[in-house]
Amino acid sequence: MATLWVLPALGTVTYVMLTTLQFVPTDWLNVPVTVTDRNRERVYALAHDLTRAARLGALLIVLGAEWATFHAAGRGVIDNAFYVAIAVPTVVLFGWIASVIVRMARA
């Protein structure tokens, strides 16, 4: 029973940590492109969008894993729903990250 609280606790800690990252000064953010005076505002805005997407993605991954755990416990077996519940939010999150990096490179 105690293990059912591990994923929500992990998700909460991750969410809080990513939320506090929103308050880090933008000069301290590590971005994958060179920041110039011309693209500074756009790159930092995209970096904040990226942290918001990571926060939502982490929440959805933990939610999917928790649902899949309950689903597997109710059926007594891990089936494809478990993998889909974790894989879909993960693929969406990494797709979003890739799109933000491309937009940063074009900024």
Render pLDDT for 40-71 as a digit per residue (tens, 0 to 9).
889 888 888 888 888 888 888 888 888 888 87
What's the pLDDT score for residue 66? 82
Is the pLDDT score of 34 beyond 80?
yes
8 A C-beta contact, residue 7 and residue 60: no
What's the pLDDT score for residue 91? 92
What DSSP string describes 77-92? Answer: S--HHHHHHHHHHHHH
| Total of domains in the chain | 1
8 A C-beta contact, residue 54 and residue 11: no
Instruction: Give the domain range for residue 84.
Output: 2-106
Residues in the chain, how many?
Answer: 107
Report the C-alpha gap between 54 and 48 in whole angstroms: 10
